[in-house]
Amino acid sequence: MSRVHPIVLVALLAANLPATAEEAARYRRADGSSVNAAVLDAGGSGCAPLAIISHGLGGSSNGNRPLAEALRSAGYRVVLPSHAESGPHLLMAAMRSPNRLAGVAAAAGDPTAHRARQADLDAILAVEERRCPVPHKVLGGHSIGARETLVEAGARNAAGIAGRDRFDAYIAVSAQGEGTDFFPSGAMSSIRKPVIIITGTEDRSVDGGFETRISTFTSLPPGKKRLAIIDGANHAELGGRDRGSVGETVGALAAEFARQVRPGPWGTAQPRRGVQLREK
């Protein structure tokens, strides 16, 4: 059997993750399409802060569960959308390419898929902000979901999407680096809101090793920006698949970050065994 590249493998696995207890929701986009989602509600009285967490290529609302559960435990209402235009069908089409890796890379940067994700985001926000006066909003995602997160925060991109920066903080797990086919050099330089970039030393990308992802942090302007590198963590694990301890660490890092930016005071992250941290 031929060896499957790690980025291809995590995309294949993402469509088949087990679901946990949740309520189902459906949001209506401006073009009439529906956005199906899982909602994990923190419960309690009043209007909870909101977190929207986006899956990677070929995935669904079943992805990113350790991250979602950590944010729910931190008091957030968490919405996990299934992005239909970048779900399993797009991945399967990419896998039929003569060059699988090139096909997956092209699918992950597909402008149509990214514009559809932006429309999904618009639909969810419209409903959730009518539902109650949301006091604080966080956007996060893994892999292509991390691209979506940084685009909304203001990163320049090959899809030509101008992010509207409607969130108070951003969580980008396994984001593609700058100087690539999607994010040009200096793409992050205009992002002003708090951002945490999370990766791992085995988090390979279509462009190379995990080091290719760190440029997203390097280019960010100073001010409530954090980079976390989890020793030994690979792409699938960072997305909540396989080794549970990695998903739990991602969730703990994200929850700590969310608490610090809601609304303050900002401080350095708690030291964690096996995690390299940088701040600026």
All domains in the chain, ordered by first residue: 6-279 (3.40.50.1820)
For the stretch 107-122, pLDDT in tens is: 667 888 899 999 999 9
Residues 6+ apart with CB under 8 A from 80: 22, 37, 38, 39, 40, 53, 55, 61, 62, 63, 64, 68
pLDDT score recorded for residue 62: 83
| pLDDT score of 5 more than 60 | no
Q: ∠ at Cα 157 (86, 217), nearest 5°?
A: 100
* pTM score, whole prediction: 0.88
In 41-129, the DSSP E strands lie at 50-54, 77-81
Residue predicted with more confidence, 19 or 35: 35
Lowest mean pLDDT among 13-22, 31-40, 93-102: 13-22
Mean pLDDT of all residues in 202-206: 90
pLDDT score recorded for residue 278: 97
pLDDT score recorded for residue 262: 80
Mean pLDDT of all residues in 42-48: 86
pLDDT score recorded for residue 13: 38
For the stretch 60-80, pLDDT in tens is: 788 899 999 999 999 999 999
Q: What is the number of H-type helices and E-type strands within the chain? A: 9, 9
H or E segment to which residue 37 belongs: strand 34-40
Q: What are the structure tokens assigned to 110, written together?
A: 């597909």
Q: Are 219 and 178 in contact (CB under 8 A)?
A: yes
**Residue where the block lists tokens 């930016």:** 261
Q: Are 63 and 80 in contact (CB under 8 A)?
A: yes
